[in-house]
Amino acid sequence: YYNAPLLGNGRSHRNAQKLAQKHLKYLNAPNPPFVAESSPSSSKTTKKPIMIQETLQPGCEGTIILLRHCEKESLKEHCTYVGYERAVYLSTLFGSGEERWPNPSHLYALNAGARHNKHKQNMREIETLQPLSVKANVTIDDSYKEQHMPHLAKQIVSLFREGHMCGKIIVVAWKHSEIPRFARHLGCGPTEGCPLDYQSTEFDNAWQIKLVYQTPWHGSKKNVKERNLWRANGSVQKEGFDPLAMSKKSGDYPLGGTAVGGRWIELDPPEQKEHAAFVKQLNKSHHHHMHHHGNMD
């Protein structure tokens, strides 16, 4: 899978790269394009230019992490038991201390009503980021539907162009089949390290897109002064979620066993309303599971 940038026929590769280059040029446009200032749910939309700030220092870098939602139930509206456990695990990867990744400054999740069936609320993307939202104290923006992905990409681009994302990260939970196109709208194609597709059976891949504002380290032309440009650097990293390891760490498998597991649900619970609602949903799912499957101790 890590050779995915080379997979696919030549035409699909060229088309993907062409789209990525188009949006990379948009990111670096000297004459500023325009982006809607409000969210798609707003009735009024004003436009403002996306300016590259004159104070933007060469070497400014920020990262966007594109995640797939948690594992899904048969009804496909909520995470499975293990999916909720993944969501809690994800929150442990971020922090301002010894955690693997820094805390995000922005969180985006696909809108719950974004799927084709208007009578169903797909909460998986929101549920995936909920524990991280509580831990990092960052509100999840879930106002964007699937068709609004290009709009969200432009909003993210504006944050970089305006110099707001130096040394910061954005985390996005989205529909897996749309993640490659999302990456291309951020200027990352196969050449930059973003694969052509996201495998349907995979839940553990985190796509990192590091945008760096710099002059080329190796100029393409001699005696030509290169200007600073945003450049995309993509990579696919494993989240490293191991359900059994997470349960063991949470105390669900002590010596001699235990009557009830799922202690990861209560891992360092912050006293916040959103977390309380999240835990309530987890406990409901957990008790439903225990009722149908019995005590396994």
At 192-239, the pLDDT tens digits run 999 999 998 899 999 999 999 988 766 555 555 567 889 999 999 999
Same domain assignment for residues 96 and 150: yes
Q: What is the pLDDT of residues 33-46, one digit of tens each?
A: 555 455 555 545 55
Same domain assignment for residues 27 and 151: yes
Q: DSSP secondary-structure letter at 230?
A: E
Look up the domain containing 280 and give its range: 244-293
pLDDT of residue 287: 54
Q: Please indicate, yes or no, whether the overall pTM of this predicted structure exceeds 0.95.
A: no
Same domain assignment for residues 146 and 268: no
Could you give the number of structural domains in the chain?
2
Q: What is the pLDDT of residues 238-281, one digit of tens each?
A: 999 999 999 999 989 989 988 888 888 875 444 344 545 555 56
How does the average pLDDT of the chain come out, rounded?
A: 81
Same domain assignment for residues 119 and 31: yes
Same domain assignment for residues 61 and 207: yes
Same domain assignment for residues 248 and 214: no
Same domain assignment for residues 55 and 146: yes
Same domain assignment for residues 95 and 170: yes
Tokens of residue 186, six digits: 């951020």
pLDDT of residue 2: 42
Same domain assignment for residues 237 and 248: no
Same domain assignment for residues 190 and 249: no
Q: Tell which residue, 142, 228, 154, has the closest CA to residue 187.
A: 154
Same domain assignment for residues 133 and 251: no
211 Cβ contact partners less than 8 Å away, ≥ 6 residues apart: 27, 61, 62, 63, 64, 160, 165, 186, 187, 230, 231, 232, 233
DSSP-based three-state secondary structure for 65: strand
The C-alpha atoms of residue 187 and residue 212 are separated, in whole angstroms, by: 12
Tell me whether strands 169-174 and 60-68 are parallel, antiparallel or unpaired. parallel
Same domain assignment for residues 147 and 93: yes
The CATH number of whichever domain residue 153 belongs to comes to: 3.40.50
The C-alpha atoms of residue 127 and residue 223 are separated, in whole angstroms, by: 53
Q: Mean pLDDT, to the nearest integer, of 137-157?
A: 95
Letter string b/e over residues 124-147, b meaning 16 or more CB atoms within 10 A of that residue's CB: bbbbbbbbbbbbbebebebbbbee
